[in-house]
Amino acid sequence: MSLHETFGQPLLTFPDAEKGPLSIRAKALVFVDPRSRQLRQELEQLAPRAISVLIRGETGSGKELLARHIHRASDRGGLFVSVNCGAISPTYADAELFGYAAGSYSGSASSRAGWFGSANGGTLYLDEIGDLPLPIQIKLLAALENHEVTRVGAHQPSPVDVRLVAATSIDLAQAVAAGKFHERLYHYLGEGQLELPALRERVGDILSLAEYFLGIYSQRLGLSVPLISEAAQHALEQHSWPGNTRELENVIHFALLVSTGDEILPEHLNLPSQSSALESIDRQVAQVVAQGTAAERTALKALLNQLSQAL
């Protein structure tokens, strides 16, 4: 890991990040905001422990990078293996995760270790673990508890030493209650949990990340690095960022391409104005209460007017 300076604050990056197929946003994370600094303290307490970790956070908030940081801070010598559970084939999920023996499938002359075997001695990161089919969840729990996997077509289990770091953007407790997630696996993951706040909840990180994205894209495109004007900085900090870090990266990339001077201005960010956002809310509320009483509509409009004045 290495630290760089962005807006005078430390920026966490990984020196070998350029070798992997990661997006720009998955290569750096800042811990500037007080909530982020608290998260880093919790992370560094969990990282050396030999327990599984569940990271909860919205889509696009940087969960995989947090998982990579856990792996680096754990000093495990094996690989960090990242798997998107939503992309695992339901038909071949066993083979993908746990591997298969030679001859198990037509044309498979050699054996494969699977994702579990590839992460032996290291960390297996399962993104959106709630997307795993229930039968595979049961086998995953058995592999974690017994420290062994049985490849498809094999007669004997193989020992494995894998640390699981999983991530989810949904409330797995609700999935358990609905019968869609294995309760014992949920409790197994419960010993080590981290909550990654949405970007709008760690405002102190926004400008540091924006500066990072601006520098990277300027370098890639061979452009001089413009300044982010004070007005643009204010607009960035005021935006709600429903798309989190992923959205911020796209906004900065766009602003760099359309800006004409040596400064990025608010209009280059192409963010919705507060007034247009309120108009959108007003339209949605009007649709929701279309069947309501006149008094209800009047009360809601008064509330929106108060919100508009407050902003």
What are the structural domain ranges in the chain?
Answer: 34-199, 203-269, 274-310
pTM of the model: 0.78
pLDDT of residue 289: 55
pLDDT of residue 180: 94
Which CATH number fits the domain 34-199, given the four candidates 3.40.50.620, 1.20.120.1200, 3.40.50.300, 3.40.50.1000? 3.40.50.300
pLDDT of residue 151: 83
If one looks up domain 203-269 in CATH, what number appears? 1.10.8.60
Q: Where are the alpha helices (DSSP H) in the chain?
A: 34-46, 63-74, 93-98, 114-118, 134-146, 172-177, 183-189, 206-221, 230-238, 244-258, 266-269, 274-288, 294-310
289/291 Cα distance (integer angstroms): 5
Per DSSP, the three-state class of 102 is coil
10/31 Cα distance (integer angstroms): 7
pLDDT of residue 203: 95
pLDDT, averaged in runs of 10, over the chain (311 residues): 41 44 57 93 93 95 92 92 90 86 59 85 96 93 91 84 96 96 95 94 95 92 94 96 93 95 94 59 55 61 54 49
pLDDT of residue 149: 86
180/193 Cα distance (integer angstroms): 20
pLDDT of residue 284: 55
Tokens representing 208 are 């540091």
117/151 Cα distance (integer angstroms): 9
